[in-house]
A and B are shown apart, each in its own frame.
Chain A
């Protein structure tokens, strides 16, 4: 109970969420409260239902049962675009960028979204200098300026991962769900990524799925452990580290105790 920001209101509330793939139940009665301004990690072995949970929250799938409340309003089963406009963003486990567009053009899409420029048929985008400047500023901030004019599919994996995160963050969401941002990265790259996440998510609420326990324990204020589609425990990093149920279910797959 060491969370200092506990008093604040919760930005995302998940209540009794169930989801089925055909006959198979993959999420069991998930209940979660994400406090505003916190970084909340969701961990659990492969196949625990972490990405499915993200997909049902963000409207890729409509959950079979249960409710999702965002900023106090029910948003269960809302489409991704609607949620995004309300301030809920996400990044993907597998890079999901615009492969044939350059890094600049990729990020410019996010800036357009942030600036709420959607059905504009009357201006030449290349001559909208404010958008260009803003995009370039963001590119500099995330360290992609050198790759500005490279098509996304030619970026190195680490840079591509960085672009993936940037696309999620550049729309300036209030709450962002990050799906294994450091997946498949080297030690050094992971370190860079954590720094970048810290920088970009300042004053924001973050829910992050991560396998790398270094990342989890260095970033998260609270941790939820998901196992076979059920919540095993939620608590501060300290509580999770010492939780007996988590240890017995989790040990052998990832050594939680070793990380310090």
Chain B
């Protein structure tokens, strides 16, 4: 019960802040918040592999890209496709990509997994460039129509209006994050976490490690795809360097490390800190990445648990304080 309460203490202010953001912030700030939310979801999906399944991916951007291109192609080539099915097509493309690659990926772990995923994302980069007549290559595809969001009983909501799009996107991203959080709490989620610690024992208990790994991959890819899809809609464009460039896979990874491994919410904080750093440095954009990399190096060296460790330290102190107050109060009552 108490555990739940503490969970809500984080969630409620966050949801509230996101809900009132368009009322109090200007259009420019809103784009920052939305961009951050998109990359937070992307980072969470990567963190599902990293912290919960113990797999380090150097090519997670390929699923983000698959989501983005999937949605864009749907909007370009399917006449009158509604918004949600377009997002769904993006997520499905990413999930199918993961499913197709899983026979090769599930056998690997550690360095091999990292290098395999990197190789796949490079192949995807080359393919996208090769077929630039369809994908737009470096120039990308832009200016595709953003359909209205049709809700039965309410009607169509115009998605070209920034505020409407913000609410729709935040809802999609939020629900996705919640589903992933729930995923980690299910029986299957506990199998996933056990695989990180000791895959051999998981097998000896009777669970199929390969299939379980494939499921985690597909789930993670699906949500990376959702993030990519929303990203493409948000930018109203997709280009190969935007979604598959050299840093595309590393940035969410860095976010996870800054936020702290082993926690679900860590990547969100990491993305927030990353975004804030970029904004603080907006007067000197060319130095922003440099500072960012310094922060990463210092964190790995001095606070390997990430920023979340700080939270725990504060929380632990807070608990001690709370207990002291409580015991003092009890003593007072009895004495």
Instruction: Collect the chain A residues with CB atoms within 8 Å of residue B185's CB.
Output: 124-126
* B187-A81 in contact (CB<8A): no
For window 16-67 of chain A, which residues contact chain B by CB distance below 8 Å? 58, 60
Task: Determine the distance from Cα of A120 to Cα of B202 in the docked complex, in whole angstroms.
Answer: 16
Known A-B contacts A99-B197, A100-B197, A124-B182; A118 and B205 likewise in contact (beta carbons under 8 Å): no
Instruction: Collect the chain B residues with CB atoms within 8 Å of residue A123's CB.
Output: 186-187
Instruction: Collect the chain B residues with CB atoms within 8 Å of residue A96's CB.
Output: 198, 200-201, 204
Known A-B contacts A84-B206, A124-B182; A112 and B198 likewise in contact (beta carbons under 8 Å): no
In the complex, the number of residue pairs spanning A and B with C-beta atoms less than 8 Å apart equals 87
For window 65-122 of chain A, which residues contact chain B by CB distance below 8 Å? 79-81, 84-85, 89-90, 92, 96-101, 105, 108-110, 112-113, 117-122
The dominant DSSP class at the B interface is helix
* A112-B191 in contact (CB<8A): yes
B interface residues, tally (CB under 8 Å): 24
Min distance, Cβ B182 to any Cβ of chain A, angstroms = 7
Asked if A1 is an interface residue, CB under 8 A from chain B, the answer is no
For window 184-212 of chain B, which residues contact chain A by CB distance below 8 Å? 185-191, 193-194, 197-198, 200-209
Asked if A128 is an interface residue, CB under 8 A from chain B, the answer is yes
Q: Of A84, A100, A108, which contacts B190 at CB under 8 A?
A: A108
Asked if A171 is an interface residue, CB under 8 A from chain B, the answer is yes
Asked if B215 is an interface residue, CB under 8 A from chain A, the answer is yes
Show 10 residue pairs from A and B whose CB-CB distance is below 8 angstroms, ordered by the A residue: A79-B203, A80-B204, A81-B207, A84-B203, A89-B204, A96-B204, A99-B197, A105-B190, A120-B187, A123-B186
Q: Interface on B for A, CB 8 Å cutoff?
A: 182-183, 185-191, 193-194, 197-198, 200-209, 215
Known contacts A85-B206, A109-B190, then 14 further A-B pairs from the complex at CB < 8 Å, ordered by chain A residue: A58-B204, A60-B200, A81-B204, A81-B206, A84-B204, A96-B198, A99-B197, A112-B191, A113-B207, A120-B186, A121-B183, A124-B182, A124-B185, A167-B205
